[in-house]
Amino acid sequence: MKRFPLFVILVILFGLHFYSCGRVSDIEMQTVYPREYMHALRNPHKGFTNRGFTENNEWATLTHSYIRWNEIERDSSEGIERIKAWCDQNWKEVENNNMKVIPRVYLHWSGDRTYWPSDMKTFDYTSPQFQRRLENMIRKLGECWDTDPRVAHVEMGIIGKWGEHHSPAPSEEMEQILGEGFRKAFQNKKVMVRHPWEFREYGFGIYWDSWAHHDQMDSHGQGILDIGERWKTEIIGGEAAYDWGNWKIQPGENPTATVRDSVHRNHLLNTIRRLHCTQLRWVADYNRDDPAARAGAEEIQKAFGYRYVIDKVTFPEYLTKGRDFNVSFSVRNTGSAPFYYQWPVELSLLDDANKVVWAADFETADIRTWMPGEGDFTAAGYEIKAEPYHVEGNFKLPANIPSGKYKLALAVLDPAGRKPSLRFAIENYINGGRHPIGFVGVDYRIKKGMKDSLQFDDPHLDKSLNYRL
């Protein structure tokens, strides 16, 4: 038998390996360019916000919850159990509707409507007793809410009418007690304060309770601009107002006028874009039977907060059990603000019934870093365009996965139960929250023509999303 020198054998083997790798790369890798979903999305932690549980805006995934102090603490003997019981009673079933709550505790509504505990003096904001009870209340709220998946973020409240830090405004000493207390109590949830010129050293988000109001553009509007890039890490939002000053000039006579009439709608859109607004309430109470109002509202919903458009996804169409493979995608945020919590991005394989057969997370994906554009906003978009973000993950299939054809899908999961929740703005969507990108085969060759046979659903019609406590 003829023998070949060792170096000849090595050269032949290397050549075969190189040829094989080249063929696998050329034949099996494919890039899909999803089409953008052009309508608004009912996505978590953003958009039109219900003022309470009786409003039912079609886009809302957030609802505001006012809480009287003496409803959750009648005297000093009560602990966190009463707070938890109150929340369970008043926030029933929000998780089943994929809703989250923005709570605010207050002591004084207006006039003689006051809600101090029975063992405290009404309108006492300064005594040592009040300070001790305030510190204890903040601690208890943190214990109850900081890890509660029903809570979206927290408005500081407590001081002044409606908990809006006026009549009276917090003193310098009170700012320190509140600031230190809320910063310590809420390590996971974002905290918002009423005025951009208060609590500056703590860097909280802002809830402007008269958003885009004609009489406050130079104070609060400019004040939010003056705090610079805080919007990149903290939520900016609040509510519109239709009951004081020159509100009929802007934002308009009522919520329907704001979203329907172009002068008012464009004014609101400009402030949302320029100030990087995530969510607003009261304006959500427009007339849903007015087609022009609904069309205008959808335009506004698209501008609120984040909106993630996937430009392309690259993946192998042939997968081997027990072997590594790579998937990457490019995404842009065409909204006005980032998403403020670290939610996982999942890659999955779905069977013919759209059931998950295998799934894993993109380990390095951080959706909080997917920033929108910034600067002045015109018809051409932001002055500084949104940067496309490249996300890449390396995955490995288990050896026991059945061979066959699957759909490769992307999803962003709510950590509460790890269920799909946040939707990308692409047409590739199936009910339940996942985005099928294309067919792949596990030890199976995808047949020609199969690639274009994916069927999609309309995300606006999908009411099935929820999360778990």
Render pLDDT for 360-372 as a digit per residue (tens, 0 to 9): 999 999 999 999 9
Q: What is the pLDDT of residue 451?
A: 60
CA distance 469 to 450: 40
Of the residues 273, 303, 333, which one is the last residue of a structural domain? Answer: 303
Q: What is the CA radius of gyration of the chain?
A: 26
Domain presence at residue 1 = no
Domain presence at residue 11 = no
Share of the chain above pLDDT 70, in %: 93
CA geometry: angle 116, 120, 123, nearest 5 deg: 60
- 316 and 253 inside one domain: no
Can you state the angle between helices 128-145 and 172-185, rounded to 10 degrees? Answer: 20
- 311 and 171 inside one domain: no
- 33 and 85 inside one domain: no
Q: Are 225 and 330 in contact (CB under 8 A)?
A: no
Q: How many domains does the chain have?
A: 2
Beta-bridged to residue 310, according to DSSP, are: 331
Of the residues 303, 321, 355, which one is the last residue of a structural domain? Answer: 303
- 311 and 299 inside one domain: no
| CATH number for the domain harbouring residue 243 | 3.20.20.80
- 332 and 231 inside one domain: no
What's the DSSP call for residue 403? P
- Buried b vs exposed e over 416-432: b needs ≥16 C-beta within 10 Å? bebbbbbbbbbbbbbeb
- 193 and 319 inside one domain: no
**Integer angstrom CA distances of residue 320 from 328, 394, 397:** 18, 14, 7
CA distance 261 to 241: 17
- 387 and 424 inside one domain: yes
Q: What's the whole-number mean pLDDT along residues 24-28? A: 50
> Which residue do the tokens 């939707």 mark?
423
| CATH number for the domain harbouring residue 349 | 2.60.40.10
CB atoms within 10 A of CB 233: 12
Q: What is the pLDDT of residue 452?
A: 65
Q: What is the pLDDT of residue 4?
A: 45
pLDDT digits (tens, 9 = 90+) for 227-236: 999 999 999 9
Query: Which secondary-structure segment (H or E) carries 179?
Result: helix 172-185
Helix (H, G, I), strand (E, B) or coil at 192: strand
Domain presence at residue 467 = no
CB atoms within 10 A of CB 375: 12
Q: Is the pTM of this model over 0.85?
A: yes
- 327 and 432 inside one domain: yes
CA distance 296 to 372: 22
Residue type, 246: N
Label residue 454 by pLDDT band (50, 70, 90).
confident
Of the residues 285, 303, 321, which one is the last residue of a structural domain? Answer: 303
Domain presence at residue 24 = no
- 140 and 268 inside one domain: yes
Query: Which secondary-structure segment (H or E) carries 357?
Result: strand 356-361
Range of the domain at 393: 29-39+307-461
Domain presence at residue 328 = yes
pLDDT above 80 for 288: yes
Q: What is the pLDDT of residue 12?
A: 41
- 100 and 188 inside one domain: yes
Residues 6+ apart with CB under 8 A from 179: 199, 201, 202, 204
What's the DSSP call for residue 430? B
pLDDT digits (tens, 9 = 90+) for 251-285: 999 999 999 999 999 999 999 999 999 999 999 99
Q: What is the pLDDT of residue 453?
A: 72
- 402 and 255 inside one domain: no
